[in-house]
Amino acid sequence: MEPRPTTDSPTGSAAARTTIQLISYGPSDFQEREIDDITQLPSYLKQPDLVHWLNVDRVDDVAMIQRIGALFGLHPLALEDVHHVYQRSKVEEYDGYLFLVVRMAATEEDSLVTEQLSMFLRQNCVITFQEGRPGDCLGAVRDRIRRANPQTRRSGADFLMYLLLDASIDSYYSPLEQLGERLDVLEEIAEAPRARGMIGELHAIRRNLLTLRRAIWPLRDAITGLLRSDHAILQAETRFHLRDCQDHTVQLIDLSETFRELCSDLRELQYANINQRTNDVMRVLTIISTIFMPLSFIASVYGMNFNTDASPWSMPELGWPYGYITVLGLMATISVVMMITFWRWGWIGRQSDLK
Amino acid sequence: MEPRPTTDSPTGSAAARTTIQLISYGPSDFQEREIDDITQLPSYLKQPDLVHWLNVDRVDDVAMIQRIGALFGLHPLALEDVHHVYQRSKVEEYDGYLFLVVRMAATEEDSLVTEQLSMFLRQNCVITFQEGRPGDCLGAVRDRIRRANPQTRRSGADFLMYLLLDASIDSYYSPLEQLGERLDVLEEIAEAPRARGMIGELHAIRRNLLTLRRAIWPLRDAITGLLRSDHAILQAETRFHLRDCQDHTVQLIDLSETFRELCSDLRELQYANINQRTNDVMRVLTIISTIFMPLSFIASVYGMNFNTDASPWSMPELGWPYGYITVLGLMATISVVMMITFWRWGWIGRQSDLK
Amino acid sequence: MEPRPTTDSPTGSAAARTTIQLISYGPSDFQEREIDDITQLPSYLKQPDLVHWLNVDRVDDVAMIQRIGALFGLHPLALEDVHHVYQRSKVEEYDGYLFLVVRMAATEEDSLVTEQLSMFLRQNCVITFQEGRPGDCLGAVRDRIRRANPQTRRSGADFLMYLLLDASIDSYYSPLEQLGERLDVLEEIAEAPRARGMIGELHAIRRNLLTLRRAIWPLRDAITGLLRSDHAILQAETRFHLRDCQDHTVQLIDLSETFRELCSDLRELQYANINQRTNDVMRVLTIISTIFMPLSFIASVYGMNFNTDASPWSMPELGWPYGYITVLGLMATISVVMMITFWRWGWIGRQSDLK
Amino acid sequence: MEPRPTTDSPTGSAAARTTIQLISYGPSDFQEREIDDITQLPSYLKQPDLVHWLNVDRVDDVAMIQRIGALFGLHPLALEDVHHVYQRSKVEEYDGYLFLVVRMAATEEDSLVTEQLSMFLRQNCVITFQEGRPGDCLGAVRDRIRRANPQTRRSGADFLMYLLLDASIDSYYSPLEQLGERLDVLEEIAEAPRARGMIGELHAIRRNLLTLRRAIWPLRDAITGLLRSDHAILQAETRFHLRDCQDHTVQLIDLSETFRELCSDLRELQYANINQRTNDVMRVLTIISTIFMPLSFIASVYGMNFNTDASPWSMPELGWPYGYITVLGLMATISVVMMITFWRWGWIGRQSDLK
Amino acid sequence: MEPRPTTDSPTGSAAARTTIQLISYGPSDFQEREIDDITQLPSYLKQPDLVHWLNVDRVDDVAMIQRIGALFGLHPLALEDVHHVYQRSKVEEYDGYLFLVVRMAATEEDSLVTEQLSMFLRQNCVITFQEGRPGDCLGAVRDRIRRANPQTRRSGADFLMYLLLDASIDSYYSPLEQLGERLDVLEEIAEAPRARGMIGELHAIRRNLLTLRRAIWPLRDAITGLLRSDHAILQAETRFHLRDCQDHTVQLIDLSETFRELCSDLRELQYANINQRTNDVMRVLTIISTIFMPLSFIASVYGMNFNTDASPWSMPELGWPYGYITVLGLMATISVVMMITFWRWGWIGRQSDLK
User: Do the chains contact at C271 and B273, CB–CB below 8 Å?
Assistant: no
Nearest to E88 among D176, D251, D290 (CB): D251
Nearest to B301 among C274, C299, C321 (CB): C299
- For residue E179, give every residue at least 6 positions away whose Cβ sits within 8 Å of its Cβ, in sequence order, or none: E112, E205, E208, E209, E259
* A228 touches E at CB < 8 Å: no
Residues of B in contact with C303 (CB under 8 A): 300, 303-305
* D353 touches E at CB < 8 Å: yes
User: Do the chains contact at A269 and B203, CB–CB below 8 Å?
Assistant: yes
User: Do the chains contact at E304 and A289, CB–CB below 8 Å?
Assistant: no
- Which 3-state string (H, E, C) describes chain B? CCCCCCCCCCCCCCHHHCEEEEEEECCCCEEEEEECCHHHHHHHCCCCCCEEEEEEECCCCHHHHHHHHHHHCCCHHHHHHHHCCCCCCEEEEECCEEEEEEEEEEEECCEEEEEEEEEEECCCEEEEEECCCCCCCCHHHHHHHHCCCHHHHHCCHHHHHHHHHHHHHHCCHHHHHHHHHHHHHHHHHCCCCCCCCHHHHHHHHHHHHHHHHHHHHHHHHHHHHHHHCCCCCCCHHHHHHHHHHHHHHHHHHHHHHHHHHHHHHHHHHHHHHHHHHHHHHHHHHHHHHHHHHHHHHHHHHCCCCCCCCCCCCCCHHHHCCCHHHHHHHHHHHHHHHHHHHHHHCCCCCCHHHCC
Collapse the DSSP code of A56 into the 3-class scheme (helix H, G, I; strand E, B; otherwise coil) and give the result: strand
Residues of D in contact with E84 (CB under 8 A): none
- More confident site: A165 or C48: A165
Residues of A in contact with B271 (CB under 8 A): 271-272, 275
Name which of C89, C194, C207, C353 to mutate to probe chain B: the one with the most chain B Cβ atoms within 10 A of its Cβ: C194
Hey, which chains touch B, using 3+ CB pairs under 8 Å?
A, C
Q: How far apart are CA E171 and CA D276, in angstroms?
A: 37
Torsion sign (Cα): C214, C216, C219, C223: negative
User: Do the chains contact at E303 and D307, CB–CB below 8 Å?
Assistant: no
Nearest to B1 among A177, A296, A353 (CB): A177
Scan residues 2-21 of B and list those with Cβ closer than 8 Å to A: 4-6
> Buried (b) or exposed (e) across C269-304, using 16+ Cβ within 10 A?
bbbbbbbbbbbbbbbbbbbbbbbbbbbbbbbbbbbb
User: Do the chains contact at A307 and B319, CB–CB below 8 Å?
Assistant: yes
* Residue C224 CA: distances (Å) to CA of C87, C159, C245, C253, C283: 18, 17, 10, 14, 58
Calculate mean pLDDT across residues E305-323: 81
| pLDDT surpassing 80 at residue E9 | no
Q: How far apart are CA E349 and CA E199, in angstroms?
A: 31
Calculate mean pLDDT across residues B181-200: 76
- Please tell me the pTM assigned to this model: 0.81
Name which of C94, C191, C199, C283 to mutate to probe chain B: the one with the most chain B Cβ atoms within 10 A of its Cβ: C199
Type and span of the H or E element at A35: strand A30-35
Collapse the DSSP code of E85 into the 3-class scheme (helix H, G, I; strand E, B; otherwise coil) and give the result: coil
Residues of E in contact with A90 (CB under 8 A): 247
Collapse the DSSP code of C99 into the 3-class scheme (helix H, G, I; strand E, B; otherwise coil) and give the result: strand
Average pLDDT of chain A, as a whole number: 84
Residues of A in contact with E262 (CB under 8 A): 207, 210
Torsion sign (Cα): E325, E330, E334, E337: positive
Scan residues 94-153 of E and list those with Cβ closer than 8 Å to D: none
Q: What is the pLDDT of residue D149?
A: 84
Residue type at D208?
A: N
Q: How far apart are CA E112 and CA C246, in angstroms?
A: 45
- pLDDT tens by residue, D122-178: 988 999 999 877 777 888 899 889 888 888 888 889 999 999 999 999 999 989 988
3-state helix, strand, coil in chain E (%, to 5): 55, 15, 30
The answer to whether B271 touches C202, Cβ cutoff 8 Å, is no
* A274 touches E at CB < 8 Å: yes
Q: How far apart are CA C294 and CA D296, in angstroms?
A: 9
From the CA of A15, how many Å to the nearest CA of chain E?
27
Residue of chain A with shortest Cα separation from E284: A281
- pLDDT tens by residue, E122-149: 988 999 999 877 777 888 899 889 888 8
**How many CB atoms within 10 Å of residue B148?**
12
Residues of E in contact with D300 (CB under 8 A): 296, 299-300, 303
- More confident site: C188 or E15: C188
Hey, which chains touch D, using 3+ CB pairs under 8 Å?
C, E
- pLDDT tens by residue, B248-265: 999 999 899 999 989 988
> Buried (b) or exposed (e) across B188-216, using 16+ Cβ within 10 A?
eebeeebbbebbebbbebbbbbbbbbbbb
Nearest to B354 among A177, A265, A345 (CB): A345
Under the banding of pLDDT at 50, 70 and 90, the label for residue B18 is confident
Which residues is D116 bridged to in the sheet?
A: D103
User: Do the chains contact at C240 and D199, CB–CB below 8 Å?
Assistant: no
The answer to whether C213 touches B254, Cβ cutoff 8 Å, is no
Nearest to C297 among D282, D292, D319 (CB): D292
Nearest to A303 among B199, B288, B299 (CB): B299
Q: What are phi and psi of D164, to 5 degrees?
A: -65, -40
Q: How far apart are CA D43 and CA D38, in angstroms?
A: 10
Q: How far apart are CA D124 and CA D158, in angstroms?
A: 8
Q: What is the pLDDT of residue D1?
A: 39
Name which of B169, B267, B288, B301 to mutate to probe chain C: the one with the most chain C Cβ atoms within 10 A of its Cβ: B301
* A299 touches E at CB < 8 Å: yes
Q: What is the pLDDT of residue D109?
A: 80
Q: What are phi and psi of B8, to 5 degrees?
A: -120, 80
From the CA of B267, how many Å to the nearest CA of chain A?
9
Hey, which chains touch A, using 3+ CB pairs under 8 Å?
B, E
Residue of chain C with shortest Cα separation from D213: C258
- pLDDT per residue of chain C (355 residues) written in tens, 0 to 9: 344 443 333 344 444 478 899 999 998 889 898 988 888 888 888 877 899 999 998 888 888 899 999 999 998 888 988 988 888 899 988 888 999 999 999 888 878 889 999 999 998 899 999 987 777 788 889 988 988 888 888 888 999 999 999 999 999 998 998 899 999 888 887 766 555 677 788 888 988 998 898 899 999 989 988 888 888 888 888 888 898 899 899 999 989 999 998 998 888 888 888 888 888 888 889 988 989 999 999 988 888 888 878 788 778 888 888 888 888 999 999 999 999 988 888 787 654 343 3
Residues of D in contact with C279 (CB under 8 A): 274, 277-278, 281
| pLDDT surpassing 70 at residue D101 | yes
* C322 touches B at CB < 8 Å: yes
Residue of chain D with shortest Cα separation from C257: D214
Q: What is the pLDDT of residue A252?
A: 92
